[in-house]
Structure 1
Amino acid sequence: MTDDDSARASFPVVTGKAKGYHRAAVDTFLDAARRAFESDDDALTADDVRLASFPMVRDGYAVEDVDAALARVEDAFAARARARAVRREGVENWVAKARADAQVILDHLGRDRRHRFARTGFLTFGYRKDEVDHVTDRIAGFLRDGDELTVEQVRKAAFRMQRGGYREEQVDALLDATVEVMLAVR
């Protein structure tokens, strides 16, 4: 990578042995997101932004910086979707849908600790149950009691692995649904 390449980079570039997000993949995705947002096109949604992933490579973009930018882009798409839905359905219907979605999450989290999600087999790794239960307790407190919790805290939730742990896809789906509810009521 030349100094000229660094000067044109959209985000800080990771150097040395560390890896970052593939620069062209990030730039292409963000260009498409910008075009979709500016054209008021529904080809891209907040969900699409949240689920975006990029290959890890040497001389790639710093992960934290790209993730922060993606969070802002997701917020913008979610705010636009919320404004459209409120205009189309009315604020009462929008709030009722957000409450119903929150109740589905709360119902799931009402299960006993260490039994909230399906588990992997004994020889297979999944998310640590105690760490997931801690985060989901915080989510339940936020949804039920209004306890302090930010969208960013939910987005950045990370768990170590354990044999027989919770199935990753189920936990990730609940975290995504929580982010959607939180963005809906911002």
Structure 2
Amino acid sequence: MAPTFPRARRPQLGYDVDQVDEFLVVARRAYDGTMRPGDPKVTAENIRLTAFGMQKGGYSTAHVDAALERLEDAFAARERQIAARLHGDEAWLTEARTTAQVVANRLARPDRERFDRVNPLVLGYSVKEVDRFAERLGRYFTDGWPIGIDDVRTVTFTAQRGGYREAQVDLVLDAVVDVMLAVR
């Protein structure tokens, strides 16, 4: 059987092959509606938050990440269709607008005050880098400036002592992705 993804070169780390293959089997059953008892629920959000162990010679992280992004898009589109059928398009868009407003309010805060800070001895995200990216996102929400969903999914920040709390920044970025997927 051919491998699902290209492998990382042997001394390099890639995603754990068995974990990735198992996740994709469960995701396929979830999408096809053939879930088995004990299968975990798979949603666009679960896919975004999925993490795999690393192993030498594992699957190429870039290829798996790209596939997960496409899978997330497919699940998000299906979730939107289901929600629209059950509650109507307006309810779906109202929820997206509400989330967008909460995010926009957060992004509108002054520089260096957008997120909680970690202890000065602990590493967090670079305040300057996060604030710069938050400005771009703020323009997306207020003025419709173009920014791609992949820009949000793949943004990285360097570490800084006393920086922004990573979990809080990541939650806001996840909410931005949710809004972007909802209005596609």
Give the TM-score category using the shorter length.
Answer: over 0.9
Query: CA 1:49–1:143 in structure 2 vs 1: closer, same or farther (change >3 Å)?
Result: same
Structure 1 stretches of 4+ moved >2 Å: 40-43
Asked if 1:105 is matched to 2:103, the reply is yes
TM-score in terms of structure 2 length: 0.94
Query: CA 1:47–1:40 in structure 2 vs 1: closer, same or farther (change >3 Å)?
Result: farther
Structure 1 gaps of 5+ residues are: 1-6
Quote the Cα distance in structure 1 between the aligned partners of 2:34 and 2:182. Answer: 19
TM-score in terms of structure 1 length: 0.93
Shift of 1:40: 6.9
Structure 2 partner of 1:25: 19
Q: Deviations over 1:82-107 (max 9, x none)?
A: 01111111112221111111000011
Quote the Cα distance in structure 1 between the aligned partners of 2:132 and 2:60. Answer: 29
Q: Percent same amino acid among aligned pairs? A: 46
Structure 1 partner of 2:179: 181
Q: Deviations over 1:136-166 (max 9, x none)?
A: 1111111111110111110001010010000
Matches within 5 A, 1:126-137: 126-137=124-135
Aligned length: 180
Matches within 5 A, 1:108-119: 108-119=106-117
Superposition RMSD in Å: 1.3
Structure 2 partner of 1:36: 30
Quote the Cα distance in structure 1 between the aligned partners of 2:13 and 2:4. Answer: 16
Structure 2 gaps of 5+ residues are: none
Quote the Cα distance in structure 1 between the aligned partners of 2:95 and 2:88. Answer: 11
Quote the Cα distance in structure 2 between the aligned partners of 1:50 and 1:123. Answer: 30
Which is worse superposed, 7-16 or 97-106? 7-16
Shift of 1:135: 1.2
